[in-house]
Amino acid sequence: MNAVEHLYIHIPFCLGKCVYCGFYSVTADTGTRVRYAASPARELRSFVESGMADVRPRTLYVGGGTPSLLGCDGLTALFSSIRNTVSLDRLEEATVEINPADTTPLLFQALRGLGVTRISLGAQSFSDDTLRRIGRRHNAQQIREAVRDARAAGFPDVGIDLIAGLPSVSMREWRETLDEAISLSLQHLSVYALSVEPESVLARSQERFSIPTDEAMLDALSEAENVLSESGFLRYEISNYALQGFECRHNLAVWRGEDYLGLGPAAASRVARFRWTNARDADTYLDRWGEAAATNFPTENREELSPVEDAIERVIFRFRLAEGIDWKRDLVANPLLQEIAPRWEKVLVSLVPHGIVRRTPTGFALTRRGREVCDAVLAELR
């Protein structure tokens, strides 16, 4: 039987909505959050009992929403219920996303005691004005304190998320945010380009915000790469930077085409040739899994890919990674991809003189310019 080695758990609660946010989250009282904590383990048990695959996690990623809203007790209940359902003996990495507004030294100590190895803080900016304008609950000082407390609790790997191209942010302010981030001696930084998500406040009231032009966005991303690479960070994936050895193994596995199981409303999964997303409905999720294991949770977009589609999808996202694709290992050695290899080679070779693709010792990777047009390159290959 196949083994799924990567687990994602979605915590669908927030205290409000940040203006740019397109993630699935709802507000909920403390009782609902406490009730939710053991629910993902019930969904997991049902998956294991379905016999579709074994689950032996090497990585576990708790994201959201706002996982830190579960508090010490909720996160303890979450981890122990997962541990009671599948063995975590092989776990190499466990990440929890934390909102800097929710942190206490006690929370970090509790997470360390639960075996969490990575902390990912949703910082987004170091300007208090900008943080207020985009609806974040924390300020810059709380980010600094959260990093300090995480380190004091013994976390070897602390990272933050930033958003490039936030409304009304000048290049000078962006540069100050990057400099602040560098000064915190972090191990990992995610830098996401602002996108106007269809259901976000930003999309509904664009006239209230000054959204950057494509050119300004590219300048902000380029500045991030300049500043971070000068400080020793490798841009190992389009939106992710790390010091050597601190790349997020969970995300690397996803980009490298490995199977993963997502638990919780709106969580996506890829197992064998199947892809599905759980329905975006926390109430129904709690009805099904809140008290006891029940029938399968309704999913959206469940599809079974053909063997060739599955093979292409697993290899194509490697282009998001700095390492790119290994021509022999990823394509030629796979009988399912031998037919498309000549077409891909033609496209990739034609992009080399334009500075979009470069040859590596074993295959091809996108250049810095290529990363700006990654989606267009992938569309050419499909």
Question: Given the rule CB under 6 A, which residues bind ligand SF4?
Answer: 14, 17-18, 21, 23, 25, 64-66, 99, 122
CA within 13 Å, CB half, 368: 11
User: What's the min distance (Å) between Cβ of 294 and ligand SF4?
Assistant: 27
- Tell which phi-psi region holds residue 72, choosing left (phi > 0), alpha (psi between -120 and 50) or beta: alpha
Residue 17 or 175 with smaller CB distance to ligand SF4: 17
36 to 81, 175, 326, 357, 362: CA distances (angstroms): 11, 40, 42, 46, 46
Residue 192 or 274 with smaller CB distance to ligand SF4: 192
Residue 12 or 57 with smaller CB distance to ligand SF4: 12
User: What's the min distance (Å) between Cβ of 137 and ligand SF4?
Assistant: 8
User: What's the min distance (Å) between Cβ of 190 and ligand SF4?
Assistant: 13
Residue 281 or 330 with smaller CB distance to ligand SF4: 281
User: What's the min distance (Å) between Cβ of 364 and ligand SF4?
Assistant: 34
User: What's the min distance (Å) between Cβ of 255 and ligand SF4?
Assistant: 21
Side chain identity at 371, as an amino acid letter? R
Residue of 123, 128, 166 lying closest to 143 (CA atoms): 123
Residue 42 or 138 with smaller CB distance to ligand SF4: 138
Residue 196 or 376 with smaller CB distance to ligand SF4: 196
Would the CA dihedral through 153, 75, 64, 309 be positive or negative? positive
Residue 63 or 212 with smaller CB distance to ligand SF4: 63
User: What's the min distance (Å) between Cβ of 262 and ligand SF4?
Assistant: 15
For residues 259 and 2, is the Cβ–Cβ distance under 8 A?
A: yes
Instruction: Write out the two tokens for 51.
Output: 């016999």
Side chain identity at 281, as an amino acid letter? D
Residue 64 or 324 with smaller CB distance to ligand SF4: 64
Residue 65 or 165 with smaller CB distance to ligand SF4: 65
User: What's the min distance (Å) between Cβ of 325 and ligand SF4?
Assistant: 32
User: What's the min distance (Å) between Cβ of 121 and ligand SF4?
Assistant: 11
